[in-house]
Structure 1
């Protein structure tokens, strides 16, 4: 159990070395920055949840949190809240956790309301590059822009709200070399065509016309790195019939082929599909699922 091994490692240098020598492999280390600063160490179905700099313990809650100060994290073990007896600053704690759990990959980090109490630049210096970056809708545009400036090379970017006013600034998000981009605000056709990632998930509905134009551009050669795009259309935007496929040559698919793609991409059995082909011969499928008010699309490139 991660909780026991972490607590045991704190007893002495010998126990720390023993825990390290076990070679415990962790799949992820996630950091959540809000009013609290929390670190989750995840190994399969096991996890260790550590809380640092609990703002409820500060006399002046408006004062910034200094992560260079020593702190003793708390964690739950067998239904009780335990307090580590050893005191390090946050940077030393992160190095300690990485060492005993043999973790060398970039971390995942999520920012929520309350993160303003921490110095973003100092967090970046401590954590380094991150694998996944999540920026909550709760944050002000100024704070979101600071986060995007500091943590500017994530593999996965989850941006719930667009913090930029200028289109050229917004488009910098889409041309980033992310593997995965999740975007929760309004976007344009130009934004879609600038996407340089492999997977993109749009959570704000688009129009049938915009989706139709995107598919036609893809057929002509746009978005060469794209592997999977997920988006939706409000049914009130569709006057009649499948206008989103107007002027696009579609090919029928066998039920076996549809089933294979559903299983591979973990799609619902209710997702129907048609196949299209771009000019260079690359094939893609458009998966379609209709609900009462929304039509959901999965645009999947085949290899």
Structure 2
């Protein structure tokens, strides 16, 4: 006599789940609403859920116990193969799940949109933490990807050779928490501003490492930015540009900015030239600034400025900021009232 899997006691169900492969567990979650809820109850919550978009797509789920990959191969049924594939209209999806127990092919006529919803549900995530757009992503309609995903933590771009496609990506994901552009995008001059005026919490530009890929940041980029935090490897660094920015900030420009980190390529920053003519004084006490509600990959939970370092400048509305320079790095901390540690009096 067959016994329903859901009729067994919880402890037995848990033991059965431990013996099942990840592929079998995922199949079980697709069987019914009841099985979906049961799998969700016993699955460990994902620490991160990420998506890589290239000519194919890969979803990665990771927690302290395991790492699982879902490889998605998409067949373009159109005669014009140069037309990007719309995920809603593509005919065939081949989904492969890979983990330590091997590859499991899933042929459920399951669309990527439904797969994304299923994964978010069973791994108890409200959004994808990371999306990585690779250079061949133009083969897939990026708007249909954005529609299927809806919410994103960090968006990383590997620019394509198409100006239109690069702009399309920025338009498709207007509300990401963090926008990371590792290599300069091919965009028309005015369109570059669209990356900065989007309401993202943090923008990261350029890539350090053995072969640095700098980003030529302009004063206009800084002034139009709606970001709270900017991190950039500036290939066009000069002290005069940032001196001018600080002057304009002191007069009320870039009011939303809270933090900026700038690194240079083989250029040691001259602090005297950087601060020339500014009304400033030495900061002499330790300052703590916390962002308790931001994901860990966006901000450190506590940013501490060492004692007896940095220079204080003051905006016309009384908001204070610290400028620190060390070799080829510049940091700018703006201490908005909402950023103060309530148990710490900041007095300069």
- The TM tier, using the shorter chain, reads 0.7 to 0.9
Q: Quick one: structure 1 residues 65 and 234, their matched pair in 2 at CA, closer, same or farther if it must change by over 3 Å?
A: closer
Distance 1:44 1:265 in 2: 26
How many Å separate the matches in 2 of 1:196 and 1:223?
Answer: 8
Which residue is 1:257 aligned to? 286
Moved more, 71-80 or 173-182: 71-80
Q: Deviations over 1:198-249 (max 9, x none)?
A: 00112223211001111111122221111111113466586x7621111123
- Do 1:38 and 1:50's aligned partners in 2 also have CA atoms closer than 8 Å? yes
Matched residue count: 290
Provide Cα deviations, 1:227-278, integer angstroms capped at 9, x if missing partner.
111113466586x762111112333234x617999993378x8x95222222
Q: CA deviation at 1:126?
A: 1.9
Distance in structure 2 (CA, Å) of the matches to 1:234 and 1:75: 42
Residue 37 (str. 1) matches residue 57 (str. 2): yes
* Cross-structure match for 2:248: 217
Q: Does 1:156 align with 2:167?
A: no
1:273 aligned residue = 310
- Please list, as runs of the form range in 1=range in 2, the aligned pairs for 1:120-159 lying within 5 A after superposition: 120-159=142-181
- Over aligned residues, Cα RMSD in angstroms? 3.5
Query: TM-score of the superposition, structure 1-length normalised?
Result: 0.80
Distance 1:266 1:50, change over 3 A: farther
* Contact persistence 1:158–1:181 (CA under 8 A): yes
Structure 2: 5+ residue stretches without partners = 1-16, 207-214, 291-299, 341-348
8 Å CA contact 2:161, 2:186 repeated in 1: no
| Shift in Å, 1:118 | 0.9
Point out where structure 1 has 5 or more consecutive residues left out of the alignment.
none
Are 2:216 and 2:234, in contact at CA under 8 Å, matched by a contact in 1? yes
CA distance in structure 1 between the aligned counterparts of 2:289 and 2:114, rounded to whole angstroms: 48
Normalization by structure 2: what TM-score?
Answer: 0.71
Looking at structure 2, the residues matched to 242 and 202 of structure 1 have their Cα atoms a distance apart, in angstroms, of 21
State the 4+ residue runs in structure 1 displaced beyond 6 angstroms. 60-63, 258-263
> Aligned in 2, Cα 1:153/1:241: closer, same or farther, shift over 3 Å?
closer
Q: Which moves more between the two structures, 112-121 or 83-92? A: 83-92
Change (3 A) 1:10 1:266: farther
